[in-house]
Amino acid sequence: MEALRAEHVSKSYGTGDTLVRALDDVSLSLQKGAVVALLGPSGSGKSTLIKAIGLVSLPEVGRVWMDGKLVLDAGIPIANVGALRRKYLGFVFQKANLIPFLTASQNVEIACEIGGHADPRRRALELLDYLGVGHRASALPATLSGGEQQRVAIARALANSPTLLLADEPTAALDKDRGRSVMELFARIAHEQKAAVLVVTHDHRTLDAFDVTYEMEDGRIKSA
Ligand code: ADP
């Protein structure tokens, strides 16, 4: 079962002499249960692809399906993008970006509330347990290690049980061992939650945690 299908997605920045084809007719299919690495040099289009698929910065053309449903047709969303994002997507960034004056569990709880969960507090605690940071539920972000903060951020991204989890260099701020354990966590999430996880990474040391590796070059997916 496909979590995501993207067909002929293109996006340019600028015009005339300054035109950059950041995404050049990209097609991509991600299966549920797969954890996929997206590699490529700086400027090759990785962030633009994540933002296009994440409905953050829409492509000019292309069709995108999530969980088998068409969500983007000729670059145009078929429903409110906020609602589509809440239904299908979770995001993890390089920095955890937790709200500093809320505890770990409150940070996750508000995401569960926004997602319309019946019992947001219980769901938040379950997610923190699942990510191995249940014992830090009442800690403020500043008292958590970098790896713990990132686990809380991943719990928050799972609040709405996304079909597709998008992560942009999630281990860049972590040391080798913590980076590896976060990548292994993504693999477990993909396999157990029946979601696809797409991770932009430069970290070649952790590539064995992935089921599939794609490489981008000049706005295209070069190799599988
Ligand atoms: P990566 O994530 O692989 O480093 P990006 O997707 O950020 O690559 O960038 C792809 C290309 O698009 C690059 O040539 C970059 O300079 C250009 N680009 C990205 N964002 C913008 C923007 N907001 N305005 C103009 N050009 C951009």
Closest CA to 155 of 125, 180, 187: 125
Mode of pairing for the β-strands spanning 196-200 and 35-39: parallel
Task: Kindly report the protein residue whose alpha carbon is nearest to atom 23 of ligand 1.
Answer: 13
CA distance 151 to 149: 5
At 57 the pLDDT is 93
Residues recorded for the chain? 224
25 bridge partner residues: none
pLDDT at 115: 84
Structural tokens at position 104 = 């770990």
Q: Return the closest-CA partner of residue 71 out of 151, 17, 147, 7.
A: 7
* Ligand 1 atom at minimal distance to the Cα of residue 14: 25
Q: Which of 3, 31, 36 is nearest to 167 (CA)?
A: 36
Which mean pLDDT values do the consecutive 10-residue runs of the chain (224 residues) have?
A: 96 92 96 96 95 95 96 91 94 94 98 92 95 96 95 95 95 87 92 94 88 95 78
pLDDT at 193: 87
pLDDT at 134: 97
13, 214, 221: residue to mutate for ligand 1 pocket, most atoms within 8 A of CB: 13
pLDDT reported for residue 11: 96
State how beta strands 69-73 and 76-77 pair: antiparallel
Residues whose beta carbon lies within 6 Å of some atom of ligand 1: 13-14, 20, 22, 40, 42-48
Report the separation in Å between the CA atom of 218 and the middle of ligand 1, taken as the mean of its atom positions.
10
From CA 159, how far away is CA 181, in angstroms rounded?
A: 20
Per-residue pLDDT at 204: 83
**By the 8 A CB rule, do 190 and 181 touch?**
no
Testing ligand 1's pocket by substitution, the residue of 15, 21, 47 carrying the most ligand atoms inside 8 A of its CB is: 47
- In the block, tokens 């700086």 appear at 42
The upper half-sphere exposure of residue 66, i.e. CA atoms within 13 Å in the direction of its Cβ, equals 26
Nearest residue (by CA) to ligand 1, atom 15, is 43
Q: 63 and 6 in contact (C-beta within 8 Å)?
A: yes
Q: What is residue 202's predicted lDDT score, i.e. its pLDDT? A: 87
